[in-house]
Amino acid sequence: MTKRFFRRTDFLLIAATAGILIMSLVIIGSATHINTPGQERYWYVQRQGIFALVNIAFAAFLMNFDYKMLQGYGNKLYIFNIILLLAVMIFGHSALGAQRWIMIGPISIQPSEFSKIIMIVSLATMLNDRVGKINNLHDLAPIVLYVGVPFLLVLKQPDLGTSLVFMAITLGMLFVSGINLKLLGGLFVAGAASTPLLWHFMKDYQKMRIMVFMDPNVDPLGSGYHIIQSKIAIGSGMLFGKGLFQGTQSQLNFLPENHTDFIFAVVGEELGFVGVAFLLLLYLVVLWRGVCIARDAGDTFGRLLAVGITSMLAFHVLVNVGMTMGIMPVTGIPLPLMSYGVSSLTTNILSVAILLNIQLRKQKLLF
């Protein structure tokens, strides 16, 4: 048992994940130490570090359970997810014009983060029986309906970023489920056609973000400010960076939200292209292992889970990093395992834990 356990443990995935987490703590430290007085100087690092350790311990504990049992909870989780999202709308408190947080004791959690992983589990449960059987609108309709309810609830918060993540997850899982490519194409067209609907749901600040993405100079001191300052930070890092704790854009506060959504810009500024490339390669390792684990998964449910998780992580990396470099609009999607934030951190560590669990229980290598 122990021997098999070790052989099947994906150390490369663990190493890459650990590497990202360590970089995360260092960069959060650099981004926050200057604004926080005296003894609480490393409050953010400590908090993120402690939650990382707690989550890792919890993930290790979860290795005792087989991921397949999740399949039995798929529909219950789906209903829990809807209740959670409704609770946010009713009890949540808002920031930046969006209701995203609910308080549980001293911790404010962002249910939309957890709802991503719940979405993956429940969609994998649903698609499990339909793999290879999604050939026409009749087959697609229930899936769209199934995803549509939580999607609209998140959009209503409004949390455009998370709703886009839902779409990415769904597309990824449908693609691997062997959906008829014409149907997938039709889905794309429908998505494009429903853009005006999305636009309708958006708040003014979100519309501004899209406009600013097209041209940051529309509003250089308002919505465009983030993108401009972030590009300056990353670009000015040049090849080797300005050195840890030396980034002028970040340390002098020109770069907003430098420990959360724009943490990648701090990496770019302080560690340069070398640091950026290293971090992105770590992500490539994680994503690549996700694809391999999907390939080697012992069952369809496991494969769907792995693909969903990989889609989610890849989309996060693309949109967040793309945003900091001015090739994606500002949507408020955190960088997985890097951005400060308990909800996001927990979701992503759990996601990696599920990948490890799938790898651990692949049946192919049973002999």
The CB-of-106 to other proteins minimum distance in angstroms stands at: 28
Residue 105 CB partners (closer than 8 Å, separation 6+): none
Q: Does 314 bind other proteins (CB under 8 A)?
A: yes
Tokens describing residue 266: 């701090």
Check: CB of residue 105 under 8 Å from CB of residue 114. no
C-beta closer to other proteins: residue 224 or 272: 272
Q: Does 232 bind other proteins (CB under 8 A)?
A: yes
Find the binding residues for other proteins in span 235-294 (CB under 8 A). Answer: 235-239, 248-249, 252-254, 268-269, 272-273, 276-277, 280-281, 283-284, 287-288, 290-291, 294
C-beta closer to other proteins: residue 113 or 269: 269
C-beta closer to other proteins: residue 114 or 283: 283
Q: Does 208 bind other proteins (CB under 8 A)?
A: no
Among 140, 234, 337, 342, binds other proteins (CB under 8 A): 234
Among 266, 317, 338, 360, binds other proteins (CB under 8 A): 317
Find the binding residues for other proteins in span 38-57 (CB under 8 A). Answer: none
Angle between helices 111-127 and 137-156 (to 10 degrees): 170
Among 211, 244, 325, 350, binds other proteins (CB under 8 A): 325
C-beta closer to other proteins: residue 86 or 277: 277
Interacting residues with other proteins (CB under 8 A): 131-132, 172, 175-178, 221, 229, 231-239, 248-249, 252-254, 268-269, 272-273, 276-277, 280-281, 283-284, 287-288, 290-291, 294-295, 300, 303, 307, 310, 314, 317-318, 321-322, 325, 327
